[in-house]
A = this chain, B = another copy of it.
Amino acid sequence: MRTDKKTLIVFSGDLDRALAAFIIANGAAAMGDEVTMFFTFWGLNILRKSKKVKAKKNFLQAMFGMMMPRGPKRLGLSKMNYGGMGAMMMKKVMKGQNVSSLEELLATAKEQGIKLVACTMSMDVMGFKEEELIDGLEFAGVASYLGEADEANVNLFI
């Protein structure tokens, strides 16, 4: 089997786009590819712990933190979300079709050794501290992304 490298920038924090990103990433890893996912801007919400973690923030960062969803269970759809109803419908249909949930896809990504990188500049802007994000992440910036993208044969921005 040929082994290639793939990188995905996960900019979006929408449930539907996050699902697409993890389905592609897990598919590639299952085929033997090395995969790196870079979470930036809203994409960091996917990596937040579901419980509130105390962390030192300024006023605006505290507001961002309060207003944005904590973790995969709380994400909305990019379209037709209707205050969460759409996301709930989507999850119910997925379950009925035996499609993995985002939480399960994230767990599989870790099991498969997919490298999950949180963008440090976005963390600074959003005011997210390492202890607010799930375990098993790496922390890096754009130079690290570019170095990996140079080695990969498929690079997507999601």
Contacts and interface: CB of A to CB of B under 8 A. Distances in A.
Interface residues on A, range: 35 or more
B157 A156 contact: yes
A62 B63 CA distance: 38
A146 B27 CA distance: 8
**Oligomer copy total:** 3
A42 B127 contact: no
Nearest to A89: B60
Pairs of residues from A and B, 9 with the lowest C-beta to C-beta distance, nearest first:
A27-B142, A156-B157, A97-B124, A149-B154, A60-B93, A154-B155, A157-B158, A93-B125, A60-B89
Contacts of A126: 93
Interface stretch (A12-20, A47-55, A108-116, A129-137): A12-20
